[in-house]
């Protein structure tokens, strides 16, 4: 399991042809990305909250949300209570 691998997969499935290939065979597409079953399921299901917890880049997560058709209201609700860590001051 790796944040880099997770973010790379989210980035790689942005083009429609790769996204369709991923949706047809998530396990086959994700082979070589070093993802846990839970991470793969979160990407497949566009589970915003789980992806945030796994360390998905907020910008990639937002693009995935839009591509997957997750509404802004559902996106905000999924992230309710989370904040960005700030190394100098803790969380905001």
CATH of the domain at 33: 1.10.700.10
pLDDT value for 88: 66
Which domain, by its residues, includes 28? 3-80
Residue 66 lies in a domain: yes
Residue 40 lies in a domain: yes
83 compared with 74, residue with greater pLDDT: 74
Q: Count of CB atoms within 10 A of residue 54's CB? A: 19
Name the domain count of the chain: 1
Instruction: Check whether 17 has a pLDDT greater than 70.
Output: yes
Average pLDDT, the chain: 86
* 75: nearest Cα among 47, 45, 44, 56: 47
Residue 37 lies in a domain: yes
| pLDDT over 70 percentage in the chain | 89
Residue 92 lies in a domain: no
Instruction: Check whether 91 has a pLDDT greater than 60.
Output: no
pLDDT value for 92: 46
Helical segments of the chain, H only: 3-12, 16-24, 26-30, 37-44, 48-54, 58-68, 72-78
* 4: nearest Cα among 47, 56, 45: 56
Residue 33 lies in a domain: yes
């Amino acid at each position: 399991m790796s944040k880099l691998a997770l973010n790379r997969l989210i980035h790689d499935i942005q083009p429609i042809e790769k996204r369709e290939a991923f949706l047809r065979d998530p396990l086959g597409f994700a082979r070589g990305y070093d993802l846990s079953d839970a991470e793969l399921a979160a990407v497949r299901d566009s589970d915003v909250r789980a992806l945030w917890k796994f360390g998905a880049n907020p910008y990639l997560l937002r693009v995935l949300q839009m591509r997957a058709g997750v509404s802004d209201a559902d996106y905000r609700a999924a992230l309710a209570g989370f904040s960005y860590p700030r190394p100098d001051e803790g969380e905001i």
